[in-house]
Amino acid sequence: MLKPGTPAPDFALQNAQNQTFRLSDLRDKKSIVLYFYPKDDTRGCTAEACSFRDQYEVFQEQGAEVVGVSSDGTDSHQSFATKYQLPFVLLSDPQGQVRKLYDVPKTLGLIPGRATYVIDKKGMVRYAFNSQLKPLEHVQNAIKILQELAQQQ
């Protein structure tokens, strides 16, 4: 896991609409809640995505964009986003390159891990959370960190 205070590595991945998304395009504009998850439309990942969806307005009020990343393809992401009405960006990382860049650990050495980063407007990692078994904690923890960042400004 990247440590808080580390510059967030820039990357470019395809979103569900097959458009290129670059992390650096949001720099100086918004904070970013970047979350990595194992697989579209599985129980834990769906619960996590729907929790981010249900709190999306809170993230927007805090000046943040939510971005989800998994190895699933763009078609899978589009289906997942449509099925659960997900208003945020889902990115396809089929080779796991960005997952490696962010040093997201695997579960039991096999399954892609679950991690959430809060990145400030300047592109610095302010918070890193790794929990395989508690996907819903990622959402509340990220909101808390964004609120703390807002108070510091």
- For 143, phi and psi rounded to 5 degrees? -60, -45
Instruction: Supply the pTM of this predicted model.
Output: 0.93
144 three-class SS? helix
Mind listing the pLDDT tens digit for each residue in 120-151?
Answer: 999 999 999 986 666 667 788 899 999 988 88
140: in domain = yes
What local confidence, expressed as pLDDT, does residue 140 receive? Answer: 87
Q: How far is 98 from 104, CA to CA, in rounded Å?
A: 9
| Per annotation, catalytic residue among 8, 16, 45, 49 | 45
Q: Which residues of the chain have pLDDT under 70?
A: 108-109, 131-136, 153
Name the residue range of residue 16's domain.
Answer: 12-152
Outline where the chain has alpha helix (H).
Answer: 43-54, 56-61, 74-84, 97-101, 137-152
Q: What is Dmax (Cα atoms) for the chain?
A: 41
1: in domain = no
Assign residue 61 the CATH number of its domain.
Answer: 3.40.30.10
Tally the domains of the chain: 1
Is 50 assigned a catalytic role? no
Tokens of 120: 């400030």
